[in-house]
Structure 1
Amino acid sequence: MEDNLDSFLQHQLEFRIQKAIAEQMDDVIGKIQELSKKFSIGTKDKKSPFRNVLSVAISSTSSLEEIKVFIRTQIGRSGASPIWSTKIGNELFATALVNEIDSLKADTSNIVRNLRSSIPKNNPLNNYVDNPDNQKELTQKIHLKLTQLYLGYLAREHTALVGEAKFNSNSQN
């Protein structure tokens, strides 16, 4: 994809992608907080089960499908964190997390739309991002990056919730 762009344009595109992702992150973090509270992940396990998932997600060879399969396999793994099999109604946390990753596609579309609108018509990047093949590849790349960020912030949210629960239980004693 970016191989046919010169170095300056690659850097400019990367900067614009990062900026567009940053503008969307508050919405994404809100989704993380909703999922975390819905499943009360801070009270299910004090040790974060997200480090291994994050390691898979940030691997240079990872893909969205690989990440989702890894998450789903945590349900059946012996010794896995109870967070994965926490159930609300008929929905398991692991399944809800995979659904959230899939739903990041809407955020990804917003990011690509914002990216495209941020590039002036006379900028050489405009022709590049308007190409449907490049848009498809950009969308996949951004969705993966957003998933990686999502999982990183989910790990942080879990740590924060565990800390808050610990603090609240100590202050009540």
Structure 2
Amino acid sequence: MIDMSPNLVLVVTIAALFTVGVYLLLERSLSRVLIGVILIGNGANLLFLVAGGAAGRPPLVGVEPEGEMSDPLPQAMVLTAIVITLGMTAFLLAMAYRSWQLHGHDEVQDDVEDRRIVRLAALDERAFVDTDTEGVVESLDEEAALARDETDDGHGTEVEQR
């Protein structure tokens, strides 16, 4: 019987990679966000391999017994995750480089809309007026009667539903 319990060191390593990665993603510096994405990608790769179970024989049908073969799906998922992490890394590197060229730093700044929302939240005011619901005195029945009925076929009769 194959032991399916994961190695405790790998589980702690996965937890540490995800924890540090999420912490770095919450920073304002794009270089720290980049390192956070890389750490989370490596944590996901380890998680796939640990979830795949114990290593076994090569998955060649007819050569090895089925009970001794390793599962190829986690390996394929790790390869896919590596490609996705590489793409995200290239994109964040390009953003950090462009920010460095334009501003001399790679820190993400608040835009005007962010500042306006924070100011209104501090004053406990709405950021916008919802014209769809403000000043509406119709009841739900009246509003439903005015709404388009999707079961109506256009000739005044309802389409039968089964």
Q: For the superposition of Structure 1 and Structure 2, which TM-score range results when normalised by the shorter chain?
A: under 0.3
More helix by share: 1
- Give me the TM-score of the superposition, normalised by structure 2: 0.28
Structure with the larger RCO, 1 or 2 (CA within 8 Å, 6+ apart): 1
Structure having the higher Rg: 2
**With structure 1 as the length reference, what TM-score do the two structures score?**
0.26
